[in-house]
Amino acid sequence: MIEARRLHILRAVADHRTVTAAAAALYLTPSAVSQQLTALEQETGHRLVERGAKGVRLTPAGEILLSHTNAVLAQLERAEAELAAYGAGSAGTVTLASFATGIGLVVAPALARLARTAPGIRVRVQDAEGDASLPMVLDRQVDVAVAVEYRGAPDADDPRLTHVPLYAEPFDAVVPFTHRLADAGEVPLGELARDAWIGPYAGNPCHDVVVLACEHAGFQPRLEHSSDDFRAVVALASAGAGVALVPRSALRGMDLTGVVVRPVDGVAPTRRVFAAVRRGAEEHPLIRPVLDALAEAATED
């Protein structure tokens, strides 16, 4: 008989590629993870993982079991949802991870709506970058993620997750008010190829958006200054340190003294924001109202 908790450990190892990283995500010791993997191999009668200098990879048998693992864990989430619904599940706590702008734009309004429509649901919010929240959902550290599409992110049809689209927003060009294009109605990105750039660190989903937009315009941005805080990015631009692309919502209420904000000429780079939960959990009576409130907040924005 295969134990479901060991399947969860197998998926964590497949996601994180090392026993140590999987153990940290699951709040276990590496030896405990190794013991559970060994027990799972004994239960199945197959070698499931291979350890190497660069980490752990699944064997062909491990890959077969992983494909079933995603379906089994999703079905268990559905079972929990139905049991919670049977027990009326109208009160409880939902944990949610979101990047800062998403908190201001949709999470906070959703919490205000839930306070009126589902007062028994308490939502605990954690600030996490758009690329960090999805692993937190998969590792069961949080129930819901408000995340951003990025290179390497799980696809919308990933068997481990259910996606709920929320909103898409363009990036605007931010240039010093003394910049040669400050008076332009729209900024062609190709005209900024010679400029110094300010942007998020590699790994931040917004970094990917900036780099891809510049590549489509025919150049690699010369990123001389890095910050994941868009207030710092704008402050550096106001000091004449370079130019930037910033999500439009991040500019709301910001001190824009010393800079000019202009739309990008042509097709603007865009970030797409969505909510995600473990597949099968989307109908849980505590989680469904949270997803609905997020979607409604995004529509009203």
Q: Position of tokens 């999470």?
A: 107
For residue 88, name the pLDDT band (cuts at 50, 70, 90).
low
Give pLDDT tens digits for 250-264. Answer: 998 899 999 999 999
To the nearest 10°, the Cα dihedral for 79, 81, 85, 87? 70
Number of Cα atoms under 13 Å in the Cβ half of residue 179? 29
Give pLDDT tens digits for 100-145. Answer: 889 999 999 999 999 999 988 999 999 998 778 999 999 999 999 9
Quote the tokens at residue 154: 């799980």
> What's the confidence (pLDDT) of residue 94?
95
**pTM across the whole model:** 0.72
Distance CA 191, CA 168 (A): 25
3-state secondary structure 91-102: CEEEEEEECHHH
Q: Which residues contact 10 (CB under 8 A, 6 or more apart)?
A: 37, 40, 48, 49, 58, 62, 65, 66, 69
Distance CA 119, CA 58 (A): 44
For residue 55, name the pLDDT band (cuts at 50, 70, 90).
confident
Among 16-25, 76-85, 269-278, whose mean pLDDT is lowest?
76-85
> What's the confidence (pLDDT) of residue 76?
83
SS3 category, 170: strand
> What's the confidence (pLDDT) of residue 173?
97
Cβ 160 vs Cβ 277: under 8 Å? no
